[in-house]
């Protein structure tokens, strides 16, 4: 990866406790703890060498902290997502205002539905989860915008594709194959997560660092064996909101 990795983050809004979630502990979500955890996450990104830009909170949008879902950065363009959940659809308009002076911006529209959390980019392919939030028309839309193969992946459990698979670079994945159709990933090397560590399958490589949820020592050790420095961060409040490590930032440059 290049020396400079520019990443956008958006702190939790005052309404974060109302985020969409099917997690059994969603009702105990604590905004102040979430803010502390978000600050620690941002510190981990900076420790890993990322250049951060923090956008303003969107107080009318409880899920807006999950900024990754708003857009896909593809070959120097911002592809604004067409979000299926009505409460999230206008988040992307605020992101467009921020980015339209920097990069070309294209906004997808229904009947395309897509969340950025369903888009996994590797060096030679783009995988698109077929989930509750993302449909086949999203695959077709992205394929029209790139020469890389765009490959649909069935999501059997979990909110998004990247809930269950992360790309660390150098042909290496962290993956929970029981939650997705893993067959198209067979050409990659796998770090397969154990069932009790499934939440940590969503992790984020920044240069030679990997940011992952705290509390998963077996996965930490296995990632370190591949030469990475691991940066565990507390994610309890974001887990309660069905969010993960990658959801909290949007990578602008590779």
Which positions are annotated as active-site residues? 160, 247
CB atoms within 10 A of CB 239: 20
Are the beta carbons of 189 and 132 closer than 8 angstroms? no
For 75: left if phi > 0, alpha if psi spans -120 to 50, otherwise beta; the answer is left
Are the beta carbons of 246 and 162 closer than 8 angstroms? yes
Name every residue whose Cβ is closer than 8 Å to that of residue 126 and which is 6 or more positions away in sequence. 74, 119, 120, 142, 146, 148, 149, 150, 151
Are the beta carbons of 242 and 206 closer than 8 angstroms? no
CB atoms within 10 A of CB 149: 11
Nearest to 38 by CA among 55, 23, 26: 55
Question: What dihedral do alpha carbons 178, 181, 185, 187 form, nearest 10°?
Answer: 100
């Amino acid at each position: 990866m290049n020396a400079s990795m520019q990443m956008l983050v958006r702190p939790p809004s005052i309404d974060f406790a109302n985020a969409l979630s099917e997690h059994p502990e969603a009702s105990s979500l604590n905004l102040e703890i979430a803010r502390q955890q978000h600050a620690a996450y941002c510190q981990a990104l900076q420790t890993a060498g990322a250049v951060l830009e923090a956008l303003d909170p969107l107080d009318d949008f409880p899920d807006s902290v999950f900024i990754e879902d708003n857009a896909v950065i593809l070959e120097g363009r911002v592809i604004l997502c067409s979000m299926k959940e009505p409460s999230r659809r206008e988040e992307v308009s605020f992101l467009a205002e921020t980015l339209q002076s920097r990069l070309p911006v294209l906004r997808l529209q229904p009947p395309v539905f897509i969340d950025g959390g369903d888009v996994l980019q590797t060096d030679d392919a783009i995988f698109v989860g077929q989930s509750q939030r993302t449909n086949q028309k999203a695959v077709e839309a992205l394929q029209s915008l790139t020469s890389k193969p765009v490959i649909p992946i069935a999501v059997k459990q979990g909110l998004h594709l990247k809930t269950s698979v992360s790309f660390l670079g150098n042909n290496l994945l962290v993956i929970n194959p029981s939650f997705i159709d893993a067959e198209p990933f067979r050409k990659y090397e796998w770090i397969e997560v154990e069932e009790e560590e499934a939440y940590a399958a969503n992790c984020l490589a920044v240069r030679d660092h990997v940011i992952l949820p705290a509390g998963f020592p077996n996965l930490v050790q296995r990632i370190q064996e591949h030469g990475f420095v691991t940066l565990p961060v507390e994610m309890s409040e974001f887990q309660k909101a069905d969010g993960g490590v990658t959801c909290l930032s949007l990578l602008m440059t590779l």
